[in-house]
């Protein structure tokens, strides 16, 4: 049987793969696993539950809260909050468990469940496997005073604590004089991103920050940058910030409307932290999907890059293992361990703006530290993604392509951790070469791995 947990929790179409019953069962199993592991203080577990703005989050978060309370867990339901905000509150409130209902950048019909343990840290593979094993098992639920309580009254005040923490991350730096456009993707940061930037001194224009339950990620946010690029130019802004549905990603736009992706943001922050003596071991942690241009730029500035598997959880694991202070993904998941233990799009945007404010340099000037190598990504859907790594013809073709590209390029072929497809990424010295090699491999994947 396929593993229920992917690289970022459990995801599926809400009310189809991801039902209220599954949400409840997962929550009960999580409470039992963490409770039996002694992962709580006091007599009973305490949990915080949050969600993004998808309409399905309303019934799924209710199911999660019900499941946890039935397992004897006291629950605070904070409502709509960014995923990193939920992680912050789990740590800030000394809670034993956090549950976030979100499918991040996925389309509105999807939803997902992410669990956080004490300290606001995502569960490791072992604990997720333990939760899966408990699903459907017989158990003896508590009764009477043993059941949990659900508090839906204190959530707003807790969300304001998260906003205050974002502003505090800037220290003495103020963003006065910076004009910023923020695209909240009609998602979880619709009520937090603009206030955080305004409280930091910036002049802010918010777009796509009127969620209605149906419009999250709908032609907006970090997966659809065109609207933000146009808005930055239209408003004469210095910087544009694009978030995704749960606001753990940040991509940026300079004053001319040019994209500043996660790799360039990491390059900017790495140099900034190094200059302050805060880049531990002069090392940046990035995944295998980061552009070769990032590795080249960091090497030129005396910064090492440690590579991990794709997924911000693996970046975080590498950072925690060696005490590194900065890591992330090209997609905009950026982790700054001084301030947070998960990717936080609003925090990243604030720190990028702080680099501009403290240096007096434009976003374009700061981003010029890195030259992006031509990169082509092709997603191949409707294939048996689990056979991608073991098919002999595909492996031979990848080896041959890497030989063809030489030192000026590379191939990364991997199954998606959250969607039923295989990703083919190729970098080369020219875009035409990258496109040609990527298309050739994608066609082979489609033919060899078709169901």
Q: What is the secondary structure of 11-48 as a DSSP string? A: EEEBTTTB-HHHHHHHHHHHHHHHHHTT--SSSS-EEE
Band of the pLDDT at 291, cuts 50, 70, 90?
very high
Residue 42: predicted pLDDT: 56
The predicted-structure confidence for 242-253, as pLDDT tens digits, reads as follows: 999 999 999 999
| Pairwise CA distance, residues 373 & 224, whole Å | 21
**Residue 364 or residue 386, greater confidence:** 364
> 50 near 69, Cβ under 8 Å?
no
What are residue 98's DSSP bridge partners? 48, 116
The conformation of residue 399, written as its DSSP 8-state character, comes to H
pLDDT value at position 341?
87
Distance (Å, whole) CA 80 – CA 53:
6
Domains by residue range for the chain, with CATH: 10-155 (3.40.120.10), 169-367 (3.40.120.10), 375-448 (3.30.310.50)
DSSP three-state, residue 260: strand
Closest CA to 249 of 270, 222, 267, 226: 222
User: What per-residue confidence (pLDDT) applies to 38?
Assistant: 61
Cβ neighbourhood burial of 421 (10 Å; 0-12, 13-18, 19+)? middle
Average pLDDT over residues 264-288: 97
Say how many C-beta atoms besides its own lie within 10 A of residue 71's C-beta: 24
List, for residues 180-216, the tens digit of each pLDDT value. 999 999 999 999 999 999 999 999 999 999 999 999 9
Structure confidence by residue, pLDDT tens digits, 408-445: 899 999 898 767 899 999 999 999 999 999 999 999 99
C-alpha 328/C-alpha 433 separation (Å) is 27
pLDDT at 416: 85
Q: What is the pLDDT, as a whole number, of residue 451?
A: 82
Catalytic residue status for 368: no
Mean pLDDT in the chain?
Answer: 94
- DSSP letter (8 states) at residue 73: -
Given this model, what pLDDT does residue 40 score? 52
Going by pLDDT thresholds of 50, 70 and 90, the confidence category of residue 227 is: very high
* pLDDT range class, residue 122, cuts 50, 70, 90: confident
Q: Is the pLDDT of residue 323 over 70?
A: yes
Computed over its alpha carbons, how large is the radius of gyration of the chain?
22
Is pLDDT above 90 for 310? Answer: no
Higher pLDDT, 204 or 37: 204
Q: Check residue 35 and give its pLDDT.
A: 83
pLDDT per residue as tens digits for the range 130-148 = 999 999 888 999 999 999 9
Residue among 321, 329, 292, 441 at smallest CA distance from 377: 441
Q: Which one, of 246, 212, 256, 93, lies nearest residue 162 by Cα? A: 93
Longest dimension (CA), the chain: 69
Q: Mean per-residue pLDDT for 9-19?
A: 95
List 61, 102, 104, 165, catalytic entry: 104
Tell me whether residue 446 is exposed, middle or buried, using C-beta atoms within 10 angstroms of its C-beta: 0 to 12, 13 to 18, 19 or more: middle
């Amino acid at each position: 049987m396929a593993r229920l947990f992917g690289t970022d929790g459990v995801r599926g179409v809400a009310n189809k793969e991801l039902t209220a019953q599954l949400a409840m069962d997962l929550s009960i199993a999580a409470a039992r696993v963490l409770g039996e592991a002694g992962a709580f203080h006091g007599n009973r577990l305490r949990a915080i539950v949050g969600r993004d703005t998808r309409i399905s989050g309303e019934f799924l978060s209710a199911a999660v809260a019900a499941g946890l309370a039935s397992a004897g867990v006291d629950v605070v339901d904070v409502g709509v909050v960014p995923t990193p905000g939920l992680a912050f509150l789990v740590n800030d409130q000394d809670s034993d468990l956090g549950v976030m209902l979100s499918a991040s950048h996925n389309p509105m019909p999807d939803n997902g469940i992410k669990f956080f343990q004490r300290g606001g840290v995502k569960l490791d593979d072992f604990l997720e496997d333990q939760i899966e094993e408990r699903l459907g098992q017989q158990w003896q639920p508590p009764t009477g005073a043993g059941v949990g309580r659900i508090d839906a009254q204190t959530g707003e005040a807790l969300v304001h604590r998260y906003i205050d923490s974002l502003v505090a991350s800037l220290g003495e730096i103020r963003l006065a004089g910076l004009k910023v456009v923020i695209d909240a993707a009609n998602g979880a940061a619709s009520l937090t991103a603009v206030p955080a930037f305004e409280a930091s001194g910036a002049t802010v224009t918010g777009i796509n920050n009127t969620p209605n339950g149906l419009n999250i990620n709908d032609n907006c946010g970090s997966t659809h940058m065109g609207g933000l690029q146009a808005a930055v130019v239209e408003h004469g802004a210095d910087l544009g910030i694009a978030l995704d549905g749960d606001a753990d990603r940040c991509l940026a736009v300079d004053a001319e409307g040019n994209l500043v992706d996660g790799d360039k943001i990491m390059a900017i922050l790495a140099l900034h932290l190094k200059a302050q003596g805060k880049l531990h071991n002069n090392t940046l942690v990035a995944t295998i999907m980061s552009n070769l241009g990032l590795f080249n730029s960091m090497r030129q500035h005396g910064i090492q890059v440690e590579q991990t598997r794709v997924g911000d959880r693996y970046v975080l694991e590498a950072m925690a293992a060696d005490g590194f202070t900065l890591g992330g993904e090209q997609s905009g998941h950026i982790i700054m361990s001084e301030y947070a233990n998960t990717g936080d799009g609003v925090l990243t945007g604030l720190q990028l703006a702080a680099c501009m404010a403290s240096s007096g340099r434009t976003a374009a000037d700061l981003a010029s530290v890195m030259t992006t190598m031509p990169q082509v990504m092709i997603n191949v859907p409707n294939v048996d993604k689990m056979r991608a790594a073991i098919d002999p013809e595909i492996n031979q073709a990848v080896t041959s392509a890497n030989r063809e590209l030489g030192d000026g390029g590379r191939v990364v072929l991997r199954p998606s951790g959250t969607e039923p497809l295989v990703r083919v990424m190729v970098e080369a010295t020219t875009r035409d070469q990258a496109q040609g090699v990527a298309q050739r491999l994608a066609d082979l994947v489609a033919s060899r791995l078709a169901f």
